[in-house]
């Protein structure tokens, strides 16, 4: 209840921190927000050329398949890496004025989420261009969009806490993200690289479960409810555990900043 009360009290500050993060991200950039849409588009083109043209994989809608996975993974990666550094990056502010410290990782995650939502414009354009048209299943897209926010916020709180005490976590997390990326089937079909008997390895990855249903919504396929409940449960637990760990350790932050 204390967390919710503080969140309500400082919601205007949270909005300002989100705006500041977005402005800083594109400061001195000629392309600005346009790069948000251009970067995943260029990545999609490269991966499509490699896997569809050179290796003979993929179909007409393969670029959409790549982009759906790439956008979700990019948000999770960028959001968690930004949250990881957020407390240390605002050390001077934390030492001077009282602000609930969890506002900083939350603000970085939300700013990256806004950028991620803008980048979905590219997905819509590419989908229509490749003949992937919206169906009634598209209404389900709200679920994976909320799940990815929960998962990223929870992981961000945990990582931001750990980063105060263990600076090397930044480099370890970079390696971990590489493993997560390959376990998300962003640019290949799971059945092409692993037997059905061993497919459970991918199903353990909550981010993969989110991507599966995001793709199902985009391609007009039925939802995988097992993956949906798994990803939702994992996200909720991640947030609750993140809040618990953050509150448990936040009073000691000042000694390490």
Q: pLDDT tens, 66-124?
A: 889 999 999 999 999 999 999 988 888 888 877 788 889 999 999 999 989 988 988 89
Contact between residue 130 and residue 58 where contact means Cβ atoms under 8 Å apart = no
- Domain presence at residue 111: yes
- Domain presence at residue 218: yes
Per residue in 159-212, pLDDT (tens digit) is: 999 999 998 898 999 999 998 988 888 887 777 667 666 777 788 899 999 999
- Domain presence at residue 256: no
User: What is the spatial distance between Cα 223 and Cα 212, in angstroms, rounded to a whole number?
Assistant: 8
User: What is the spatial distance between Cα 92 and Cα 100, in angstroms, rounded to a whole number?
Assistant: 14
Name the pLDDT band for 7 (thresholds 50, 70, 90): low
For residue 231, give the 3-state DSSP assignment: helix
Q: For residue 80, give the nearest of 156, 148, 160 by alpha carbon.
A: 156
Reported residue count of the chain is: 257
- Domain presence at residue 23: yes
- Domain presence at residue 236: yes
Structural domain that includes position 237: 2-251
The number of folded domains in the chain is 1
Q: Six-digit token pair at 96?
A: 């001077």
pLDDT at 153: 95
């Amino acid at each position: 209840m204390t967390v919710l009360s503080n969140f309500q009290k400082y919601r205007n500050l949270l909005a300002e921190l989100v705006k500041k993060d977005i402005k800083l991200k594109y400061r001195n950039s000629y392309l600005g927000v346009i790069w948000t849409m251009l970067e995943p588009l260029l990545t999609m083109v490269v991966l499509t050329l490699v896997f569809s043209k050179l290796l003979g994989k993929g179909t007409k809608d393969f670029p959409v398949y790549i982009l759906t996975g790439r956008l979700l993974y990019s948000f999770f990666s960028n959001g968690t890496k930004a949250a990881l550094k957020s407390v240390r990056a605002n050390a001077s502010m934390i030492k001077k004025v009282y602000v609930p410290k969890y506002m900083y990782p939350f603000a970085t995650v939300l700013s990256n989420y806004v950028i991620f939502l803008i980048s979905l414009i590219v997905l819509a354009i590419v989908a229509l261009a490749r003949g992937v048209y919206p169906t009634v299943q598209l209404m389900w897209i709200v679920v994976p969009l909320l799940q990815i926010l929960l998962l990223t916020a929870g992981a961000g709180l945990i990582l931001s806490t750990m980063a105060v005490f263990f600076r090397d976590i930044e480099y370890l997390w970079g390696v971990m993200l590489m493993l997560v990326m390959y376990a998300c089937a962003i640019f290949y079909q799971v059945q092409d690289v692993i037997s059905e008997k061993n497919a459970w390895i991918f199903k353990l990855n909550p981010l993969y479960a989110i991507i599966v249903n995001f793709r199902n919504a985009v391609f007009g396929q039925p939802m995988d409810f097992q993956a949906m409940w798994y990803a939702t449960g994992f996200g909720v637990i991640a947030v609750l555990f993140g809040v618990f760990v953050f509150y448990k350790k936040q009073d000691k932050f000042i000694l390490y900043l």
